[in-house]
Amino acid sequence: MANSRQLHLRRDPFQRPSLTPGPLGHNDAASPDSPRSFVGDTPGPLGMKDHGDPNIKQLSGNVAGLGGASAARSRQPKPVNELSSEEELVKDPRVKALLDVVAHAEGAGYNTMVKGKGSQPITDFGKHPNVIVTLSKSLKSTAAGRYQFLHSTWSGLNMPDFSPKSQDEAAVKLFKRRNMLKPLLAGAVEQAIRNGNREWASLPGSPYGQPTRTMKELLEVYTRSLTRWSQR
């Protein structure tokens, strides 16, 4: 290999790969450590940035990592604000965590009707079940789903069905209505929760006279959920 430079000085480097595995041609195609799928094109100074042609598709190892940062950025959720669509907002880990807070406070899942006489698991998610459940002699309710939507409330949200996806996005619509998103996205989680206490009677400070969760408990739920969703 000592004479390889003299043998090929007059050859077009784009017609034949470099045969110099040493420092000058480091990482050229003829290097015993180079993958055979690479050609020895050197777009920069001689021996530098070999295999760096941006048109090369057969990348592997550290070379493939050159585009890793861009790929990772492209997988990040788009920045959102309180005016973003429900579809975009529901992907944000902070919004997901607040949805978990409300579901925890209400003690409900996607198939849950309010507990009382006449309550049963929801099996048809084509529409709000609109079952009148008797809670006491003086109180009846149609609350249903993970966020315990009353039928009258649900009817005004114009959702296509009662699927989990629709329930999540409908709850985000209520977040908007109750000004919960702006403080949430600014980091004022406690204020966001308090702003929703006229929509959900289980949230701290609710004026409806029903049992409520403590703020400490709900902030702990939020923190755990945010950690989980941020890692996905």
What mean pLDDT do residues 61-68 have? 45
- Tell me how crowded residue 99 is: count the other CB atoms within 10 A of its CB: 21
Can you give the pLDDT at residue 9? 47
Reported pTM: 0.68
Q: How large is the average pLDDT for residues 51-79?
A: 50
The string of pLDDT tens digits covering residues 115-144 is 999 999 999 999 999 999 999 989 999 999
Answer whether residue 3 shows pLDDT above 60: no
For residue 51, give the nearest of 35, 67, 65, 40 by alpha carbon: 40
| pLDDT 10s digits, 182-199 | 999 999 999 999 999 999
Tens of pLDDT along 145-161? 999 999 999 999 999 99
pLDDT band at residue 63 using 50, 70 and 90 as cut-offs = very low
What is the pLDDT, as a whole number, of residue 15? 52
Per-chain mean pLDDT for the chain: 81
Domains and their CATH numbers in the chain: 1-76 (no CATH), 86-230 (1.10.530.10)
For residue 165, give the DSSP letter. H
**pLDDT reported for residue 79:** 86
228, 220 Cβ separation under 8 angstroms: no
Mean pLDDT, range 219-228, rounded to an integer: 98
pLDDT at 8 over 50: no
Would you say 184 and 90 are in contact if contact means Cβ atoms under 8 Å apart? no
| Helical spans, DSSP H, in 21-67 | 61-64
